[in-house]
Amino acid sequence: MGCGSGRPYTQKDVEKYIKKNQLHLPSPELIDGSIKLTSNDGFYNASSLLDSTWLQGKITNNEYRQSIEHINERIAQSIIGTSNTLPINQIPKSQSTKLAIAELNDKYKGRVQFAYQTNDQGNALYPTESFIFINFK
């Protein structure tokens, strides 16, 4: 996909991309009591955690998975209608990610804090990495 005639990405295009790449997304990591999700293309691994104790009883494994799916859905919505002259993994996604993070922080206020960070060292061969940190209050 991408580098085409400039037609807009459709929902089907984006769903196909996510389905194809979901299995290759990095697994979450536990770092100093926070969960860290890493992405090279703006989408995050929404699989349930193998160890639900990471959630410290603040949210359920299902709420965790739904939260990551919400972020991915917001990102997907921002891509639909965008020209396919760029591949999906090169389309900027930080604004839609920040919106989803703000929505989740409102939803889980007082229990969980989501944070978003990017590594702006990316280029065409090595895309910008982005991270979501989930901290528990």
Q: Mind listing the pLDDT tens digit for each residue in 69-117? A: 999 999 999 999 999 999 998 888 999 999 999 999 999 999 999 999 9
Q: Is residue 40 helix, strand or coil?
A: coil
Does 110 reside within a domain? yes
User: Are the beta carbons of 117 and 44 closer than 8 angstroms?
Assistant: no
Structure tokens at 12: 């089907």
Does 105 reside within a domain? yes
Neighbours of 41 (CB within 10 A): 21
pTM assigned to the model: 0.88
Model confidence at 23: pLDDT above 90: no
Task: Tell me how far apart the alpha carbons of residues 2 and 25 are, in angstroms, rounded to a whole number.
Answer: 20
Count: domains in the chain: 1
Model confidence at 3: pLDDT above 90: no
Does 50 reside within a domain? yes
Amino acid (one-letter) located at 114: F
Does 22 reside within a domain? yes
Task: Tell me how far apart the alpha carbons of residues 49 and 99 are, in angstroms, rounded to a whole number.
Answer: 24
Q: Give the structural domain span for 29.
A: 11-128
pLDDT at 119: 81
